[in-house]
Structure 1
C-alpha cells in the first residue's frame, strides 16, 4: 500500500558517493566560510577590531584576484600549447638540425655528425652505436676549435664493412690542451617524420628519436 507523502528510499548503491578529493590549499569559498565562522563565534564583549576585519577582507580580495589570475594563466598556457602544436605540424617533411644524437643511415650515403665544443680541443672522439647499443666504429679528430664542428661517417664499421640502413646513435668526447675534459653537445639533422605532443611538450621525431621543439636550431 502506498502512503501519501512518503517517498521511497533509493537503493543502497544510489546512496554511496565518491568521497571528495582532499585539498591541500584554501580556496576563496573556504576563506569566506572561515571569516563568517570567526564573526559568528566572536566574543560580543570583545568584537573584532575594525582594522583586523579590514585586513582579512583585503586578504580575501587578494585571494580572489590570485585565483582568477591563475585560472587565466592556465587557460593561456593551454591556448599557447595548442597554437604551438598546430604550427609544429608544418615541420613534417622539412629538414631540420637539432640537439640530439640520432642517425638515420641510408645505405651508401655518408652522414655528417655535428657537435659543439665548449673550448678548443686537442682531440675529439666520436663513438657510433647500432640500434641494440653495440659500438660499431669510432671516429677521431685532432685540434678542433671551440664552437660547431662536424665529422663525416661513411656508414661502415671499424672493419670497413658497409652497415645496413637503419637507426644509429653517436656520442662525442673531447680533451683539451691540458688534458681536461671539454664540454660537448651533439647535433643531429634529417627530415622530420612526425610531430607529437607529449607531457605538455611539443616534440618532433627526427631520425627515429623524439626531440623537443626547443632543441631545434635550424630549419631548411
Structure 2
C-alpha cells in the first residue's frame, strides 16, 4: 500500500467516523476508535521512510482520536438524558387525568343535534369570517359567513343543521375557519375545542390523551383547567345559624 493511498483511506474513514459520531447513530457497521487506531498504525507502518510523518501530524491525529472518544461519551450521555426527560414528561402527563383541557383540533363532535363549541383567536379584526363544516369523508355540510368579527377570543357553536336545514347525524365533523382581513388577505385559523381527559396512553415515547372520545398527542393541548377546582373555589360558605339556643350550665358529676 502506498503512502498516498493509505492517507486517502484514513482521511475518508476519519470523515465518516466524525459525521456518524456527531449524528449520534448506532455503532453497527460504522467505524469506532479501534478501527481508527488500526488505520493509524497501518499508515505508520506503510509510510515512506524517506518522508515520514512529522510529529505535528502524528499529534494532530492522536488528538483527533481523543476528541472522537469524548464525542462518543457525550453522545451516550445525551441519549441517556433524552430518555430520562422523555420518561419524566410521560409521567407528568398523568397529571392531566380528570382535567378539562383546550385541544388544538380542527374537528367538532355533534351529539344529539348539538355541536361541541369551538374556540378560535383573531389577532386583528376580520371583515368576514367563514365557517366550513365537512363530514369525515370530506363532503361539504355547511358553509356559513359570520360577517365582521373583532380581534380577540371567540366561540362558535353549530346547531347541527346543514345548508338545506336538515339535521345531521351524530358523529365527528371537520371544521375550517377562514378570516378575511381588511386588506383582503385570508388567514386560516386554528380551531380549539374542550374536553375532559379520561385516559393517558404512552406510545413510541410520546404521551396521548383521550378526551371527547378522541386520542390526541399531548403536544396539542393548549390550556389546562379544572372545573371542580373552580367550583370549589367559587363556593360560598353556608349562612350562620341565627337561632342558636344557649347551652345550659355544666353539671358536676363528682360524688
TM range (shorter): 0.7 to 0.9
Aligned partner of residue 194 in structure 2, secondary structure: strand
The match for 1:155 among 160, 173, 183 is 160
Displacement of 1:123: 0.5
Which residue does the alignment assign to 1:190? 195
Which residue does the alignment assign to 2:77? 72
Which residue does the alignment assign to 2:36? 31
The match for 1:170 among 159, 171, 175 is 175
Which residue does the alignment assign to 2:209? 204
After superposition, the C-alpha distances for 1:4-59 in whole angstroms (9 at most, x for unaligned) are: xxxxxxxxxxxxxxxx9644xx4322222221211222234433211111111111
Q: Distance in 1 between matches of 2:55 and 2:68?
A: 20
1:106/1:151 CA distance change after superposition, 3 Å = same
The match for 2:99 among 94, 97, 107 is 94
After superposition, the C-alpha distances for 1:145-196 in whole angstroms (9 at most, x for unaligned) are: 3343221212333344433332222111111112211242221221234434
Which residue does the alignment assign to 1:117? 122
Gaps of 5+ in 2: 1-26, 226-255
1:163/1:92 CA distance change after superposition, 3 Å = farther
Gaps of 5+ in 1: 1-19
1:183/1:102 CA distance change after superposition, 3 Å = closer
Displacement of 1:82: 1.8
Alignment check: 8 A CA contact 2:127 2:181 kept: yes
Alignment check: 8 A CA contact 1:130 1:167 kept: yes
Q: Distance in 1 between matches of 2:63 and 2:150?
A: 60
Q: Distance in 1 between matches of 2:215 and 2:58?
A: 56
Q: Distance in 2 between matches of 1:144 and 1:199?
A: 42
Which residue does the alignment assign to 1:54? 59
Corresponding position: 1:85 with 2:87: no
Q: TM-score, normalised by structure 1?
A: 0.77
Aligned partner of residue 121 in structure 1, secondary structure: coil
Displacement of 1:216: 1.3
Which residue does the alignment assign to 1:11? none
More strand by share: 1
- Higher RCO structure (Cα 8 Å, ≥6 apart): 1
